[in-house]
Structure 1
Amino acid sequence: MKLKNKLALTGVATMATLFLGLNANAARMDMVDVSNNNGYMSTSEYVSMRNEFGVKVVTVKISEGGTYKDPCAASNIANVQAAGMYINGYHFARYATKAQAIAEADFAGRTAKAVGLPIGAVLATDVESQEANSQSKATNDRNNDAFMKEIQKFGYRADIYTSGSWANNKMTIKGKTGWIAAYPYVVSGKNWYSSNHAWQWSSTAKFRISYGGFDVSQLNSNYYTAGQKSRVKPNNKGAVKANNRKANKHNYKLSNSAKWVKESKTYTFKTAVKLHTSASTSSNVIAILPAGTTVKTDQAIIQGGYRWVRQPRFNGYGYLVTGPASNTLEYVKSGATHTYYTVKYGDSWWTIAQRNGLNMTTLASRNGKTIYTTIYPGQRLEVR
């Protein structure tokens, strides 16, 4: 997510010049987003990110849907500010109608103020849910616009976060707006989504004194730093360069060498889905399978910005998109009929569902529960 800056930056060109001087041939770790999934983060962890990795901005999860408040938000905001960094927030959207979008914006705005997100910060809407996937592009555009207009009434600046495969497909993301997630790619000096405010290029970045993997983004404008003051700059430029090179090396492995993996799974569609002749959106369509159709798959792959699965048919195979490329294959188990996850401290229905490419309702119902059922560390949940 996002933070604050002292520099009087006047535009995209100024910001780009400032950042590109650090590491011109690699994606930069300008911004990190955190939530309760990362646990309670200390000021010293943020200082390390700033000094050793060149992180300038932190964007903190504030809320989700119409009721969930991230329990770590207030602590994260305070500690990021203590580290002298830019701070912003995001809301994970669940809205499917304009009225729901306005209601969620009101909830997010009130929650942001209560946990100390400063006026003038960005409060982005994170649009990647099953609810949004089930809507038309026009409906998502209408809902996103309503959310952003409402959030501005609280004194926050608005933006949209979504995946590269959804941008201008499931919703409109104009130039000089948007925070786009797309990974992994081979860097080759290319600045992906350079016309947008930010590009999230990894979800597995490692920091020296922080546990687990983190989402990191490169800023392509000053939008996520505008109107804020950052008191402290990185003090170890050598470490910043080395750590950025290392991050690129470990996060850009796929792209041109994607491979099929075994996946024995049954899908039941909530909406109509196109069945293609190959794993490409430009391939011919065999059929349009209506909502309620159940198919069994045998393999999966991440390719062309999407996650594809293969359906054995009487005369060959059909290919289906299950979601954006961020719907990772990490949890696909070869030959497994069921895969389980052990709940850890700090987990929630949302974090576990997101890791496994599910929505919360599906995950809960699969385990005979609802999203309002309390889960405990050590509890085993079926995720596949």
Structure 2
Amino acid sequence: MAFLMVNVTSQAARMDMVDVSNNNGYMSTAEYTSMRNEFGVKALTVKVSEGTTFKDGYAASNIANGQAAGLYVNGYHFAHYKTKAQAIAEADFAGKTAKAAGLPVGAVLATDVESQEANNQSKATNDRNNAAFMKEIQKFGYRADIYTSGSWANSKMTIKGKTGWIAAYPYVVSGKNWYSTNHAWQWSSTAKFRISYGGFDVSQLNSNYYTAGQKSKVKPTNKGAVKANNQKANKNVSKPAASAKWVKEKKTYTLKTAVKLHTSTSTSSNTIAILPAGTTVKTDQAIIKGGYRWVRQPRFNGYGYLATGPASNTLEYVKSGATHTYYTVKYGDSWWTIAQRNGLSMTTLASQNGKSIYTTIYPSQRLVVR
């Protein structure tokens, strides 16, 4: 994500929309009603599917319970497509899955484009694939949009004004409306709600795109609580921006995918080499810089630098030669429940498995917990 410094004002970023997936577990109508009445949430965006095989098991209940609470309900699909044909296939799968889960016609069904596959594609290829997905999804009666990080918008893919749902988490939330020309700005991934467990992604809506085309009874009943809770949420993320610092990270990794080796910690710097999947890389330091997480590789004539993904993500590598304790994912598990059970944070658990907390986990999957 892109981290920018802005001036603090008294105006708080709003919690207009919350998005949920299987990581959040079962969410009741009472929880959504509390979000609406006490925090001013108007819209809900539910994960429906991923790739061409995964169907979120909580999608149907999230859609039904969100509707029962009077929220505008939308959906999103986590994309892995690398070609136009794959984009169309994923759109067909997402559309059919959304229909079966009860997503109402006229809702938004966004493509969530933040995967390693998209990271390895050119901007032109991502634009072509995204366009194919969105054109196909409209055949199911849904409206289309793209979700991606601020550091990828108009870098990894084109996001025009009056389109797009952009994620960028500031050190300081202010009255400045980030991405005001886009449909929505996701400004926090750690929002807390009174009767719900865990942190949630929340967004400010800058248009009526995610609340259009549907009937709703969205009427917060406690305006005082809405104002106070929004201000509290902003305060919780209002921390002074610290300068990025290198930290020691002497590890050996085996690359899961091809990765560019740069001359400096900038994606626009020269490429020393493209290291193919299977390459063993020894690193000595790591840093968060320019919206990316970087690791440094000592070389015979200096250093090479690997961008491992957006700063919100973790290493896309698998550590080799280590002894670990594993946990087998069971039905109903989430990053949060497994992390709590093993005394870890969700970020740490995901990181040591080479994933982010937004990556879907499946029953029978083995995760490193020690």
**TM-score (norm: length of structure 2):** 0.83
Q: Counterparts of 1:2-41 in structure 2 under 5 Å?
A: 25-41=11-27
Q: State the match for 1:223 in structure 2.
A: 209
- 1:381 Cα shift? 2.0
- 1:306 Cα shift? 1.3
Which segments of 5 or more consecutive residues in structure 1 lack a partner in the other structure? Answer: 1-22, 330-335, 365-370
Q: State the match for 1:375 in structure 2.
A: 364
- 1:237 Cα shift? 1.7
Which segments of 5 or more consecutive residues in structure 2 lack a partner in the other structure? Answer: 1-8, 316-320, 339-345
Q: State the match for 2:283 in structure 1.
A: 297
Q: Counterparts of 1:86-125 in structure 2 under 5 Å?
A: 86-125=72-111
Q: Aligned pair 1:240/2:226, yes or no?
A: yes
Q: State the match for 1:20 in structure 2.
A: none
Question: 3-state DSSP class of the match of 1:150?
Answer: helix
Change (3 A) 1:47 1:338: farther
Supply the RMSD in Å over aligned alpha carbons.
3.2
Q: State the match for 1:5 in structure 2.
A: none
- 1:286 Cα shift? 6.7
Amino acid at match of 1:262: K
Q: Counterparts of 1:152-167 in structure 2 under 5 Å?
A: 152-167=138-153
Q: Aligned pair 1:273/2:260, yes or no?
A: yes
Deviates more, 1:132-141 or 1:33-42: 132-141
Q: State the match for 2:125 in structure 1.
A: 139
Q: Counterparts of 1:340-355 in structure 2 under 5 Å?
A: 342=327, 343=329, 346-347=332-333, 355=350
Question: 3-state DSSP class of the match of 2:140?
Answer: coil
Amino acid at match of 1:287: I
Q: Counterparts of 1:323-334 in structure 2 under 5 Å?
A: 323-328=309-314
- 1:257 Cα shift? 3.5
Deviations 1:296-334 (A, max 9, x none): 2222222221112222344554332111121159xxxxx
Amino acid at match of 1:375: S
Change (3 A) 1:169 1:153: same
Deviations 1:210-259 (A, max 9, x none): 01111111111111011122213111122112211221222343644334
Do the aligned partners of 1:297 and 1:310 also contact (CA within 8 Å) in 2?
yes
- 1:135 Cα shift? 1.7
Question: 3-state DSSP class of the match of 2:176?
Answer: coil
Q: Aligned pair 1:193/2:182, yes or no?
A: no
Amino acid at match of 1:285: N
Question: 3-state DSSP class of the match of 1:245?
Answer: helix
Change (3 A) 1:93 1:281: closer
Deviations 1:83-133 (A, max 9, x none): 001100001111111111111111111111111111000000111112222
Q: Aligned pair 1:307/2:293, yes or no?
A: yes
Q: Counterparts of 1:170-181 in structure 2 under 5 Å?
A: 170-181=156-167
